[in-house]
Amino acid sequence: MNGTLYVVATPLGNLGDLTPRAAEVLRQAAVIAAEDTRRTRGLLSHLGASPTLLSFHAHSGKRRLETLLEILAGGRDVALVTDAGTPSVSDPGTDLVAAAREAGFTVVPIPGPSAVATALSAAGMPADRYLFLGFLPRKGTERARLLARAAAEEWSVVLFEAPSRLVALLRDLAAAAGPDRRAVVARELTKLHEELRAGTLAGLADYYSDATPRGEITLVVEGTGAPAPPPDRTADATEEATALLAEGLSRREVARRLTETLGMSRNDAYRLVMGLP
């Protein structure tokens, strides 16, 4: 009989938030796959549990994943945990879960704390729909693209950030979304020095420039409340239509292709093509 992979959510800080079901799984599992064994050892000591503890993090090699699959194949249960919150949600775990599923092992989620849901619940912003972006790249075109996406999003946006980079993120978001866009910085959630500070992006950037933040940070940014306008594809359509006409295609055929490749309406595509020399 194969073992079961349990994906276990653990407290963000306050040990009282560990669910009874999660505690039972951690006591009974033969092996715990932990992002940081030092952090997890403290939790297991609190529970009086003494399973085999193996590290499994973002930089674990293929061999460690294979070892965990071999343990499951041998009939022993494995509990996957990260330093805090729910595994695989901007935390290690996705590769192991995917590999376990592909190998035919049972995967059982043990729900519990999540920094995303916790911050949203106390932000005072709509949370029936939201966009979660996790940690943004530190620089480059992908960071710029995601900042623009956050600025244009109609729903609340949730991000994670390291304390040393929070001010830079707030200033970049203020430049993209406007300095008066509302946001909430949720810091050290459920811990002794928990802080939820609401304000504008510019105001929060100024505040944390003077009061250097510490601890783990979740940022909730207010959405625009309206869908983003569709991108103007006129330049792309004109370039593609010109190239197709040069190949000898009829204007009717070019218009048809524009509707397929660029999603233009038939009327718009036909008007654009007919207006070309």
DSSP output for 148-198:
HHHHH-SSEEEEEE-GGGHHHHHHHHHHHH-TT-EEEEEESTTSTT-EEEE
Residue 228 confidence class, pLDDT cut points 50, 70, 90 = confident
Taking 80 as the threshold, does the pLDDT of residue 127 lie above it?
yes
Q: Are 186 and 154 in a shared domain? A: yes
Q: Are 103 and 53 in a shared domain? A: yes
For residue 207, the model assigns a pLDDT of 98
78 Cβ contact partners less than 8 Å away, ≥ 6 residues apart: 3, 4, 5, 6, 29, 30, 31, 32, 33, 68, 71, 72
Report the range of poorest mean pLDDT among 149-153, 166-170, 191-195, 267-271.
267-271
Is residue 119 within 8 A of residue 186, CB to CB? The reply is yes
Q: Are 103 and 41 in a shared domain? A: yes
Mean pLDDT on 100-125? 97
Task: Please report whether residue 78 resides in a domain.
Answer: yes
Q: Are 104 and 122 in a shared domain? A: no
Mean pLDDT on 236-242? 90
98 Cβ contact partners less than 8 Å away, ≥ 6 residues apart: none
Tokens of 257: 């292709």
Task: Please report whether residue 192 resides in a domain.
Answer: yes
The residue among 98, 113, 128 that closes a domain is 113
For residue 236, the model assigns a pLDDT of 84
Total length of the chain: 277
pLDDT, tens digit, 9 for 90 and up, residues 71-96: 999 999 999 999 999 999 988 899 99
Strand, coil or helix: what is 269? helix
Please tell me the distance from the alpha carbon of residue 111 to that of residue 20, in angstroms, as a whole number. 11
Task: Please report whether residue 229 resides in a domain.
Answer: no
For residue 234, the model assigns a pLDDT of 81
Percent of the chain's residues with pLDDT above 90: 89
Q: Are 163 and 256 in a shared domain? A: no
Residue 109 confidence class, pLDDT cut points 50, 70, 90 = very high
Please tell me the distance from the alpha carbon of residue 146 to that of residue 219, in angstroms, as a whole number. 14
The residue among 87, 113, 139 that closes a domain is 113
Tokens of 189: 């959630």
For residue 227, the model assigns a pLDDT of 86
The residue among 221, 243, 265 that closes a domain is 221
Task: Please report whether residue 226 resides in a domain.
Answer: no
How many domains in the chain? 3
For residue 142, the model assigns a pLDDT of 94
Q: Are 85 and 173 in a shared domain? A: no
pLDDT, tens digit, 9 for 90 and up, residues 14-37: 999 999 999 999 999 999 999 999
Taking 90 as the threshold, does the pLDDT of residue 198 lie above it?
yes
Percent of the chain's residues with pLDDT above 70: 99
* pTM: predicted TM-score of the whole model, two decimal places: 0.81
Domain that residue 84 falls in:
4-113
Tell me which residue of 155, 189, 187 sits closest to 170, measured CA to CA. Answer: 187
Q: Are 215 and 179 in a shared domain? A: yes
Taking 80 as the threshold, does the pLDDT of residue 61 lie above it?
yes
Please tell me the distance from the alpha carbon of residue 17 to that of residue 2, in angstroms, as a whole number. 30
